[in-house]
Amino acid sequence: MTSPHINVLRAVDATGVNVAIHDHELFESPIRSPQDFADALGYQLSRITKAVFLRSKSSGHYAVAVCAMDRKLDFAAIADGLHQSTRMEVASAEELDRVVGYPKNGVSPLGLPSDVAVVVDEALLAESTVLIGGGAAGVELELAPADLVWASGARVAQIGVTS
């Protein structure tokens, strides 16, 4: 069984939020895409999130933006939501590893260094629960969106647009 990253587990323990852990390897059908994962759970794709590790083009500040898989990220809105004067861009896999220690396909908004900001798309607040990366590939955490915002110290903004 794949476990969440230790930093994610520590964040869950420290905040006391209620989570369910989902290991892709334990499903009967292979999980090769977010839609496969949603189908295996019987959920809408809007409950499965993507977390993208970003950096400010000029200031070098880092952030994680979280929105549903069926939406696109609006990079200008992310910068506004984070009160950045410059546009945000996707950081490299090397930066992700160096700054956070999560793999490209396992980015989590939990367990981040304190100087990495988190912004969550406000559309996620309409869901009963959402699924976020566990800091390791193939493992997700399910939790209430309000708990996600609280546990990650996230700002909420309209950062996703319909694909």
Domains in the chain, start-ordered, CATH in brackets? 6-162 (3.90.960.10)
pTM of the model: 0.94
Q: Are 106 and 93 in contact (CB under 8 A)?
A: no
Q: 118 to each of 32, 62, 107, 115, how far by Cα in Å? A: 26, 9, 12, 10
Please list the pLDDT of the chain residue by residue as tens digits (163 residues).
Answer: 689 999 999 999 999 999 999 999 999 999 999 999 999 999 999 999 999 999 988 777 899 999 999 999 999 999 888 887 778 899 999 999 999 999 888 899 999 999 999 999 999 999 999 999 999 999 999 999 999 999 999 999 999 998 7
